[in-house]
A = this chain, B = another copy of it.
Amino acid sequence: MLTSREHKSEDTTFRIGSTVVGRDFTIIAGPCAVEDEMTFLDTARLVKSEGAHILRGHVYKPRTSPYDFQGLKDDGFQFIMAAKENLNMPIVMEVTAIEYVPIVAEYADLVQVGARNMQHFELLKAVGRIRRPVLLKRHPAATLYEFLMAAEYILQEGNENVILCERGIRSFSDFSRYTLDLTIVPALKERTHLPVFVDPSHASGRSAYVPPLAKAARACGADGLILEVHPSPENARCDKDQALTPEIFKKLMHELTS
């Protein structure tokens, strides 16, 4: 397997902006979705000033209900450009269909395949043929084997810069949206050379649990984090319960880097 330590023993590393993924502890932060220019740029400035390396800039949003906010789509790209020009910050953006791969690969520095598309094999092959690094999120019901095989589809097409991201599994929990499965961090590091990230925001669904889980992820060997941050979470158009306030984000970044 191309993803295995047997195939390649040393850790895969690659540069995105100022961070070397797989070597530095990398922080991706930003809003759940791009909503409007001012909110987006405010959040971007905040997360940059606190030391985040990559900005969340999602304009296509896969949503459970067709009646939920679906992202700004094409209207969001102008704000992405504004953030890149003003702040010189790399962007991660989700791609939800093969037809969007070219435009997302043009604007984004890191292309995300979301959890619900983890076994959308045609999309995996499509992002395997681009020159951008890919962030592949684990489906909440995926086994480790299925997760690695999904990455294998990408590597097989020639793209070796893939980040694996744990974001919580489906369980019977009565206190969190998903159950963050941190055991997969050392289990993946044992089997694969690819970098492993953790998203405690989507996993827990509650901002109060994000700082302790972020620190736990780092302690057990994760290579990076994805954190949802919003200037005023109560006004966010999606996932308001899990976004960190600027104050809590600042405090967490201080704890993670000290």
Docked pose: A187 CA to B206 CA in angstroms:
10
Taking the closest CB of chain B, its distance from the CB of A160, in whole angstroms, is 15
Docked pose: A176 CA to B184 CA in angstroms:
8
Given the known inter-chain contacts A96-B122, A149-B64, A170-B172, please indicate yes or no for A215 contacting B219, CB distance below 8 A.
yes
A237 interface hit (Cβ, 8 Å)? no
Docked pose: A123 CA to B117 CA in angstroms:
11
B-contacting residues, A89-113, CB 8 Å: 96-99
Q: A186 contacts which chain B residues (CB < 8 A)?
A: 208-209, 212-213
Given the known inter-chain contacts A170-B172, A172-B172, A216-B217, please indicate yes or no for A63 contacting B143, CB distance below 8 A.
no
A236 interface hit (Cβ, 8 Å)? no
B-contacting residues, A117-135, CB 8 Å: 117, 119-123
Docked pose: A190 CA to B122 CA in angstroms:
36
Give which listed residue, B96, B97, B209, contacts A183 with CB less than 8 A. Answer: B209
A141 interface hit (Cβ, 8 Å)? yes
Docked pose: A187 CA to B119 CA in angstroms:
27
- What class of interface size applies to chain A in its complex with B? 35 or more
**Copy total for this chain:** 4
Docked pose: A145 CA to B219 CA in angstroms:
28
B182 with A208: CB separation less than 8 A: no
Q: A120 contacts which chain B residues (CB < 8 A)?
A: 97, 116-117, 120
Give which listed residue, B96, B121, B169, contacts A96 with CB less than 8 A. Answer: B121
A220 interface hit (Cβ, 8 Å)? yes
Taking the closest CB of chain B, its distance from the CB of A120, in whole angstroms, is 5
A185 with B171: CB separation less than 8 A: no
B183 with A173: CB separation less than 8 A: yes
Given the known inter-chain contacts A153-B66, A186-B209, A212-B185, please indicate yes or no for A119 contacting B116, CB distance below 8 A.
yes
Docked pose: A213 CA to B189 CA in angstroms:
13
Interface, chain A (partner B; CB < 8 A): 62-66, 96-99, 116-117, 119-123, 139-141, 143-146, 149, 152-153, 156, 169-176, 179-187, 190, 203-204, 208-209, 212-213, 215-221
